[in-house]
Structure formats: structure tokens, C-alpha cells
Amino acid sequence: MDAGGSGFALSPSSFVVRCAENKAAGRRWPCSGSLVFFSAACGDGKGFSAVMTNQLAVSVQGVGKAYRIARNAEKFYHLSDAIMNKIKNPLQRVERETFWALRNIDFQIDRGECVGIIGRNGAGKSTLLKLLSRITPPSEGRIELYGRVGSLLEVGTGFHPELTGRENIFLNGAILGMRRSEIQREFDSIVEFAGVEKFLETPVKRYSSGMYVRLAFAVAAHLRTEILVVDEVLAVGDAEFQKKCLGKMQDVASGGRTVLFVSHNMHAVNMLCSRGIFLRQGGVVYDGTAEGAVDHYLNSFSASTTLETEARFRPGTGEYRVVEARFEKSVYDPDEPKVLRFKLERTGRPLTRLHLSFFLTDEKGVMVTQCDSRTHNFWMNDAPVLEGTFTLQYPWLKPGEYRVDLLIGSAGIIDKFDGAATLSVSPVLPFPASVPEDAVSDGTVFSVFEYQQDTSCLAAEPTENIA
């Protein structure tokens, strides 16, 4: 069957159940990466048929994903505690509720489109990509994928830690549905792009996170899948690698393949994508130009709802939560130290050596700076209530509005509060001279600098000869 013209549709029920039904009926169940489209008749156990399409790459119709989550359940950090509680309270019931991570999602994506999927944490972006990558089935609705899907959702996905880099390239390619000859044809390009030539025979468990993500991205981008799905994993790489990846994704899209890109880097979304989908609370709020989606994303921080800021819906294990974050002044001058007061509360077991991370994003969605307490060997110790201040002295910020995200961490993320505070910088230049606009229009921040001229190389003034 021609790889360019067929698709794979997912019914709301489990892949395993659908596989068993087809096997019992003597039908061939497609393996990962196969290009078979299931008609509605398949859901009734009557078989499937292949169809051809011209331009469509992805079709999502009324899709939803629900999870059953425990409500007010007691947390246990040791297995023995959980067992003893069950013995003492055999009739105790855990109250559960249905949480819809996605609901009523509808959109279509044509071949060759590069689409940015953006939204705040908890909006449902990663869940949507997992549905499109066939990692988990939807609870309702229908998904049709016309072509093989290559996905890069998190560092190490599809990699076996005990296998070498070389072996994992072939393993990952096989998972994506590629033939061995296809993988061999792209092998040299993958290795060159990832820059891991010296470590090909080393088990990937010994790779750094940067090496992991370079190799994973190289495999997904070079193998000839028709649809490339990329989550926010590029943040692991350095600036040079991120630039390299964005260039590769542009090449992929211009070559007629479809790219779905999730990122909190609005500059990258604007640069790479021609179309943007903005998700909020599990639904599509905007589907249009990338610029329009970015505007909706940035405006969402000034119109936060209780659901988005409520602690239990934020990422993290939740032993501590940010309950307050505010700047001491409403407006600062560019060269003035900006002081943020914060308050944390313990909501779980006590931990020691907590670190904090401060992320500052401008009104264009560009991350201006990250200030992590570990770089200054600063740690916070346990207390029921933790209070403190953070002072940003440099760089000098340009006039405008800024968003602050706060992260509490230990061994992992404890709490990530996007939009914890906002900062306004007045339109006052911090320099001694008045200058035209083109002298300060470029760049993200104001720098502290000075110019000097080396006078030793100046020619001496000529003297007049007197007869």
C-alpha cells in the first residue's frame, strides 16, 4: 500500500481489545506504523477497509480523554504504611472523580503544515500528543492519522538504557515502523546530526540528558515518517542544538511532512509554525495563525481562572505549594532592583534542601532569564510556612510587562506555578544620554556597558614648521 495515501484511525476503545477482536475474526491487525484506515464498520466487528486521501494528514473529531483520580486520598510514602492502613480499615473507600484532560477536540491538519500547539501547564497539550502518537486511546471521539507517526515526547522515549546508541537507533526506528534498509540509509545522517560518533557503542544509560535528547531527536527527524510530533523536549539541549533542531524541523515541514510542535517558547512557535492551536482547560480556544495563538496564550496570564491557578491542578508532587508571590512595587524602573516576596506552605511530608527557580518571560513570550537558587548554593529548609524574597538586580529590563513563573524543586518538581506574579517596567531609559529609538530598539534587555578609546594609538597632531 502506498505510504503517502493511507491512514490509521483509532476507535475510542482499547488497542488491545480491538486487536483481539480482529485476531479472533481472522483479520490482520496492523503493527506500529502501519497505514491502515479503519472504517466505522470496524467498531462493529465487521472488518476494515483502506482509503486514499489527497491532502489530509490528521483528523481529530470530538475527541476527549478522561481519567479517574482519587479525591482526598491519604498519601503513603512507604508500602508498609499502605498495607497497615488497608488491614486496619478494610472497608475504607477512596472517593474518586472523573477528570477530563481533553474534551470536544476538533481540528484537521493538512500535509506539510507545521502546527504549534500551545497552552499553559495542564491545558492538555501532552495528553493530545500521546493520543496522536497512539500511546493511549481516547475516551471518546475519533482520530485519523494518514501516515506513520514519529514522536519525541520526552527524553528517552523508545530507548532501552542497556542498549548502545547504535542499537537504539535501530530499535527506535523499528518502533516507528521503519524498515531496516530505511534506517541504514539514514544512519550516517542521524549520527552526524546527534554528534555522538564517539559514543555509538556505549549504553545510553551512560549518556547525559543532552546526548539522550540529541540522539532521540535525530532519529525522529531523520526517519521518514509522514507526521512528526515533538513535545517540549528541546529545552534540554543547549542554544546551538535548539537552533539546529528548529532548522531541521523547518526542513522537514518544507519537504512536505507534517509537524506538530508543542513549546512554551513563543518565539520558536512564531518562527517555525504557520498555524497555531491554543488549548485551555482541555479545550480548543483558538485555531488560526501562529501569531494569533501566541497572543491568546500571552493574554491568558492576565485572565487566569481559579482552575488554572489552584494548587492541586499544578504540576509537581505537591509536598509544598506556592501560595503567594508579589513584587514590592507595582512598577519598576529598568535599572532598579526588582524584589519579589514569596510564601510557600507545606502540604505533605517535610523535605529538606528545597531549591527555587525564577523564570522571567516578556510580553512576546521570550524567556528572558532563569534564576535558580542552586547556582548560589541557596537552599530552603523545612517549616510549615516558608517566606522569603528574591531580588533581580541584572540585567536591566526593557519597558513592558513581564510574567514570572516559580518552581519549587528537590529530587524532582514539587510545584510549578506559571504566572505566579507579573512585573511592569516603566518606559524610562537608564542611560545618561538621550538617544533616538534605533539606539535601543533591538535586543531583549538593556546591558550595563561602557566604551573606551585607546588614546595611545592616536596620531600626534602635525605641527607647523616656521622658517
| Mean model confidence pLDDT for the chain | 77
How does pLDDT run across 331-342, given as a tens digit for each residue? 888 888 999 999
Instruction: Look at residue 288 and give its three-state secondary structure.
Output: strand
Taking the C-alpha atoms of residue 367 and residue 373, their distance in angstroms, rounded to an integer, is 18
Instruction: Look at residue 12 and give its three-state secondary structure.
Output: coil
Least confident of 44-58, 171-185, 250-264, 311-325: 44-58
- Cβ atoms of residues 269 and 118 within 8 Å: yes
Chain position carrying cell 532592583: 337
Q: Is residue 260 part of a domain?
A: no
Let me know how long the chain is: 467
Question: Please, which residues have CB within 8 angstroms of residue 52's CB and are 6 or more apart in sequence?
Answer: 2, 5, 6
The helix, strand and coil proportions of the chain, stated in percent and rounded to the nearest 5, come to 30, 30, 40
Q: Is residue 375 part of a domain?
A: yes
Q: Three cell numbers at 82?
A: 499502605
Comparing CA positions, the residue from 156, 148, 152 lying closest to residue 178 is 148
pLDDT, average across residues 419-443: 79
Comparing CA positions, the residue from 15, 52, 38 lying closest to residue 131 is 15
Chain position carrying cell 517549616: 383
Least confident of 69-78, 375-384, 458-467: 458-467
Q: How many degrees, rounded to 5, is the angle at CA 339 between CA 303 and CA 327?
A: 25
Question: What pLDDT is recorded for position 75?
Answer: 66
Helix (H) or strand (E) holding 28: none
Range with top average pLDDT, 144-158, 374-388, 444-458 = 374-388
Question: What pLDDT is recorded for position 399?
Answer: 85
Share of the chain above pLDDT 90, in %: 19
Q: Is residue 328 part of a domain?
A: yes
pLDDT, average across residues 166-195: 86
Taking the C-alpha atoms of residue 445 and residue 237, their distance in angstroms, rounded to an integer, is 23
Q: Is residue 18 part of a domain?
A: no
pLDDT band at 231 (very low <50, low <70, confident <90, very high): confident
The Cα diameter of the chain in Å comes to 119
pLDDT, average across residues 200-221: 83
- Cβ atoms of residues 135 and 11 within 8 Å: no
pLDDT, average across residues 380-399: 90
pLDDT band at 303 (very low <50, low <70, confident <90, very high): low
Q: Is residue 345 part of a domain?
A: yes
Helix (H) or strand (E) holding 97: strand 96-110
Taking the C-alpha atoms of residue 195 and residue 265, their distance in angstroms, rounded to an integer, is 24
- Cβ atoms of residues 367 and 361 within 8 Å: yes
Residue 149: count other Cβ atoms within 10 Å of its Cβ: 24
Q: Is residue 16 part of a domain?
A: no
What's the Rg (C-alpha) of the chain?
A: 27
Taking the C-alpha atoms of residue 4 and residue 226, their distance in angstroms, rounded to an integer, is 8
Least confident of 84-98, 194-208, 312-326, 414-428: 84-98
Comparing CA positions, the residue from 354, 310, 255 lying closest to residue 121 is 310
CATH number at residue 406: 2.70.50.60
- Cβ atoms of residues 229 and 172 within 8 Å: no
pLDDT band at 237 (very low <50, low <70, confident <90, very high): low
Q: Three cell numbers at 336?
A: 532598579
CA atoms within 13 A on the CB side of 43: 11
Query: What phi and psi values does residue 224 have, to the nearest 5 degrees?
Result: -85, 60
Taking the C-alpha atoms of residue 159 and residue 215, their distance in angstroms, rounded to an integer, is 10
Chain position carrying cell 513535545: 231
For every residue of 307-355, DSSP letters joined together read HHHSGGGSSS--SEEEEEEEESSSEE-TTSPEEEEEEEEE-SS--SSBE
Global pTM exceeds 0.75: no
Comparing CA positions, the residue from 130, 136, 111 lying closest to residue 227 is 111
Taking the C-alpha atoms of residue 449 and residue 7, their distance in angstroms, rounded to an integer, is 58
| Domain housing 323 | 310-429+438-445
Least confident of 25-29, 96-100, 305-309: 25-29
pLDDT, average across residues 308-314: 68
- Please tell me the total count of domains within the chain: 1
Q: Is residue 359 part of a domain?
A: yes
Q: Is residue 419 part of a domain?
A: yes
Question: What pLDDT is recorded for position 235?
Answer: 56
Taking the C-alpha atoms of residue 4 and residue 52, their distance in angstroms, rounded to an integer, is 9
